[in-house]
């Protein structure tokens, strides 16, 4: 029998998030140091209980990386995307430029788990296309499954749900990208079933495992 999915309430999410941020600042937790350095807890300006984790990082581009080499196909006609010429990237910006990524961890009342939201912009403030996002250092190389790509989603061939989608930030209401949480409760639950958890630390351990699962695909290093 499979382990039950892992869920947490909004208040548990807030408590565990604040505890992990404190651990990272105090230097007493190696995983928190690695995944939560430079993160901070942000309260909603007027509504209690709608806080979230946030940080801003600078990322690099991978010049010369083509879409078909990443295993992505055009979601409209199924053909491999071959839009680059002479090794140039799709963006008009210099491929060596850094890009600004604002990252958030928010609570999903629907799935009862944390969700990773982000925005990513070039140095001139222009938002990156999804193809350019996939060429950035945000995602670990060779970890994304073969997928269909459109301007608004990345959908794995083996899943009915997109891996990456566009949507408004649940608290800020601003347009963002997010990693779809549909498989998160199951993945986290399976790992937690194998973890020895000290009494009274269940929700904190769930957050630690969630960051570890996310960190297998998204590069969470500062």
CA distance 130 to 165: 10
Strands 99-108 and 147-149, sheet pairing:
unpaired
Half-sphere exposure of 107 (CA within 13 A, CB side): 22
**Distance between CA 15 and CA 198 in Å, rounded?**
16
Q: Which of 59, 130, 61, 138 is nearest to 95 (CA)?
A: 61
Q: Which residues, 6+ apart, have CB-to-CB distance to 158 below 8 Å?
A: 145
Per-residue pLDDT of the chain (222 residues; tens, 9 = 90+): 567 778 899 999 999 999 888 888 776 556 555 667 789 999 988 888 889 999 999 998 876 554 434 454 554 444 443 233 333 333 444 545 789 999 999 999 988 999 999 999 998 889 999 999 998 999 987 888 888 888 889 988 877 778 899 999 999 999 999 999 888 888 888 888 887 665 556 788 899 889 989 988 899 876
Q: Would you tell me the crossing angle of helices 202-215 and 10-26 to the nearest 10 degrees? A: 70
User: Encoding tokens for residue 65?
Assistant: 């990386």
pLDDT for residue 73: 53
Q: What pLDDT score does 192 carry?
A: 87
Classify 78 in phi/psi space as left (phi over 0), alpha (psi -120 to 50) or beta.
left
Structure confidence at residue 78 (pLDDT):
43
pLDDT at 77: 45
């Amino acid at each position: 029998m499979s382990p039950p999915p892992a869920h947490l309430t909004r208040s548990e999410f807030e408590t565990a998030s604040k505890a992990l941020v404190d651990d990272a600042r105090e230097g007493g937790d190696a995983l928190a140091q690695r995944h939560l350095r430079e993160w901070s807890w942000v309260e909603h300006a007027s509504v209690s209980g709608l806080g979230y984790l946030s940080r801003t990082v600078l990322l690099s581009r991978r010049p010369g990386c083509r879409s078909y080499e990443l295993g992505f196909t055009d979601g409209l006609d199924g053909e491999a995307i071959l839009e680059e010429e002479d090794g140039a990237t799709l963006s008009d910006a210099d491929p060596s430029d850094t890009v600004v990524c604002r990252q958030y961890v928010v609570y999903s009342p629907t799935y009862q788990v944390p969700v990773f939201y982000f925005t990513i912009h070039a140095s001139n403030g222009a938002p990156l296309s999804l193809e350019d996002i996939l060429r950035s250092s945000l995602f670990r190389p060779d970890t994304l499954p073969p997928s269909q790509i459109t301007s608004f989603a990345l959908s794995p061939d083996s899943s009915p749900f997109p891996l990456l989608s566009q949507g408004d930030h649940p608290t800020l209401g601003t347009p963002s990208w997010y990693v779809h949480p549909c498989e998160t409760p199951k993945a986290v639950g399976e790992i937690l079933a194998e973890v020895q958890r000290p009494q009274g630390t269940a929700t904190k351990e769930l957050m630690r495992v969630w960051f570890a699962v996310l960190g297998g695909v998204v590069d969470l290093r500062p």
